[in-house]
């Protein structure tokens, strides 16, 4: 059992059999797996007293579950990916180049943390990136392109190319901590004889991916997006809409630079709405406000696409596929041509 002088029970008391507050590593491994214990160790601040117990291990297990689910999503999204599909960063949309910039920043931070044996910082950087930048932001926006764009579209190819880079970087960066899980994840993609993530070089995200101007621009876009998300959450809570795709909000942005940034991208796509209208100015007094952004909520007009679930007035334009948008009709035709079957 763990009885090191600097390892305490979760209430801060010394572990003792008589108190019944001991934690036995073999039981943790038997019930949850060795990587749960390794993740707990990595997230501890070993410069101070460490604590362990059922609630602390429950938190580690929840963090592990989220990380594992993110890798599961990556594996599914990358099914069938090969080098012929890969697209150069210079040909990618802004969002993909922004994520590569963030990945390069992360790589530098993780490498520096490992260099000085600061596993707590390495684990925190990786966990935050996967939960905030990937799952809650990038994956959420790009799931439409990934599932609904034509197979050969630049956006879909760029999405999968970025996911390929994410996979290689994150598996090798996590491998020193989540030894068994990363091997399992790696072998799901590369199951050749002798293949192992632990035989790979520590991935390096190229400095050429760095773009500070793009980072600043998307920081502004995300700030504006947060206002839209806040307004939509209220509409969802009030049962006005069921999902953000049912919305077509009007967004008023006071700052000229912030307005220009939002106007330069597909802001409806970034906010995961079916439509959006941008205005420069303060907006009406009844609008939802966050900082210098005001949002007036409206429901999207048109019919619901049976494939993408977006609300659009363009549904019905394609006679062969009357219940989906022209974009989705193009995608279905390409899939049918490529695979020779109904999709």
Beta bridge partners, 8, equal 14, 51
Report yes or no on whether pTM surpasses 0.75.
yes
Q: pLDDT in tens for each of the 343 residues of the chain?
A: 344 446 655 555 566 565 555 555 666 666 666 888 888 888 877 766 666 666 777 788 888 999 999 999 999 999 999 989 999 999 999 999 999 999 999 999 999 999 999 999 999 999 999 999 999 999 999 999 999 999 899 999 999 999 999 999 999 999 999 999 999 999 999 988 889 999 999 999 999 999 999 999 999 999 999 999 999 999 999 999 999 999 999 999 999 999 999 999 999 999 999 999 999 999 999 999 999 999 999 999 999 999 999 999 999 999 999 999 999 999 999 988 887 765 4
Dist. CA 337–CA 79, nearest whole Å: 19
d(CA 272, CA 136): 12
Cα separations in angstroms, 310 against 11, 144, 269: 50, 9, 11
Partner residues linked to 296 by β-bridges = 250
Domain 212-301 has CATH 3.30.2320.20: yes
CA–CA separation, 250 vs 278, rounded Å? 6
What local confidence, expressed as pLDDT, does residue 173 receive?
Answer: 98
CB 124 within 8 A of CB 116: no
Angstrom CA distances, 255 to 44, 219, 279, 290, stand at 43, 14, 11, 13
Contacts of residue 232, Cβ cutoff 8 Å, sequence gap at least 6:
241, 244, 247, 249, 271, 273, 297
The residue written with tokens 């390069």 in the block is 104
Total Cβ atoms within 10 A of residue 47: 9
Tell me the average pLDDT of the chain: 90
Rounded to whole angstroms, the maximal C-alpha distance in the chain is 77
Angstrom distance (rounded) from CA 81 to CA 75: 10
Tokens of 328: 């989705």
- Are β-strands 288-290 and 50-52 bridged in parallel, bridged antiparallel, or unpaired? unpaired
Identify which of 42, 37, 15, 12 has the alpha carbon closest to the alpha carbon of residue 26. 37
Burial 148-179 (b: 16+ CB within 10 A, else e): bbbeebebbbbbbbbbbbbbbbbbbbbbebbe
Domain limits of the chain? 7-209, 212-301
CATH class of 7-209: mainly alpha
pLDDT tens digits, one per residue of 153-204: 999 999 999 999 999 999 999 999 999 999 999 999 998 888 999 999 999 9
Q: Are 289 and 226 contacting, i.e. CB atoms less than 8 angstroms apart?
A: no
């Amino acid at each position: 059992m763990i009885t090191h002088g600097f390892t305490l029970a979760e209430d801060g008391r010394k572990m003792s059999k008589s108190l019944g507050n001991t934690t036995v590593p073999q039981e943790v491994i038997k019930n949850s797996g060795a990587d749960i214990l390794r993740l707990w160790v990595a997230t501890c601040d070993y410069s101070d007293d460490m604590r362990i117990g059922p609630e602390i291990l429950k938190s580690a297990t929840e963090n592990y579950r989220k990380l594992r689910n993110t890798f599961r999503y990556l594996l599914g999204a990358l099914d069938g990916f090969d080098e012929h599909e890969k697209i150069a960063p210079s040909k990618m949309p802004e969002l993909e180049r922004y994520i590569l910039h963030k990945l390069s920043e992360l790589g530098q931070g993780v490498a520096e943390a490992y260099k000085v044996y600061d596993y707590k910082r390495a684990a925190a950087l990786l966990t935050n990136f996967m939960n905030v930048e990937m799952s809650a932001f990038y994956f959420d926006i790009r799931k439409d392109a990934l599932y609904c764009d034509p197979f050969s579209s630049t956006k879909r190819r760029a999405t999968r190319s970025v996911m390929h880079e994410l996979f290689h970087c994150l598996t090798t960066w996590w491998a020193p901590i989540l030894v068994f899980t990363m091997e399992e994840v790696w072998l799901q993609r590369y199951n050749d004889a002798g293949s192992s993530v632990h035989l790979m070089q520590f991935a390096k995200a190229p400095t050429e991916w760095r773009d500070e101007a793009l980072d600043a621009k998307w920081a502004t876009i995300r700030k504006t997006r947060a206002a839209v998300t806040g307004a939509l959450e209220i509409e969802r809570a009030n049962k006005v809409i069921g999902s953000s795709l049912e919305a077509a909000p009007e967004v008023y942005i006071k700052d000229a630079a912030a307005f220009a940034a939002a106007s330069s991208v597909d802001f409806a796509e970034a906010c995961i709405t079916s439509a959006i209208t941008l205005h420069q100015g303060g907006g009406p007094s009844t609008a939802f406000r966050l900082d210098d952004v005001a949002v007036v909520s409206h429901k999207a007009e048109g019919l619901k696409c049976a494939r993408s679930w977006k609300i659009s007035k363009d549904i019905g334009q394609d006679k062969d596929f009357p219940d989906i948008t022209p974009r989705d009709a193009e995608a279905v035709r390409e899939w049918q041509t490529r695979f020779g079957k109904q999709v």
